[in-house]
Amino acid sequence: MTEIKPILVTGGAGFIGSNFVLDWIETESSPVINLDKLTYAGNPLTLAPLEDN
């Protein structure tokens, strides 16, 4: 039995990071830890579809 390990995404609220996170959640079973400083480029609304996840 293999252990499912989470992945760490830095900048996950930016354009590229949020699209990666959304795609990863849709296709993979391992959890995601999203770390973002939320500067001018980060937008938490891009991850709104995952609010209940």
**What is residue 43's DSSP assignment?**
-
The position carrying tokens 């900048």 is 11
Q: What is the pLDDT of residue 29?
A: 87
With bands split at pLDDT 50, 70 and 90, how would you rate the model's confidence at 23?
A: very high
pLDDT at 25 over 90: yes
With bands split at pLDDT 50, 70 and 90, how would you rate the model's confidence at 51?
A: confident
- Name the pTM for this structure: 0.84
| Distance (Å, whole) CA 21 – CA 4 | 17
Structure tokens at 46: 């891009």
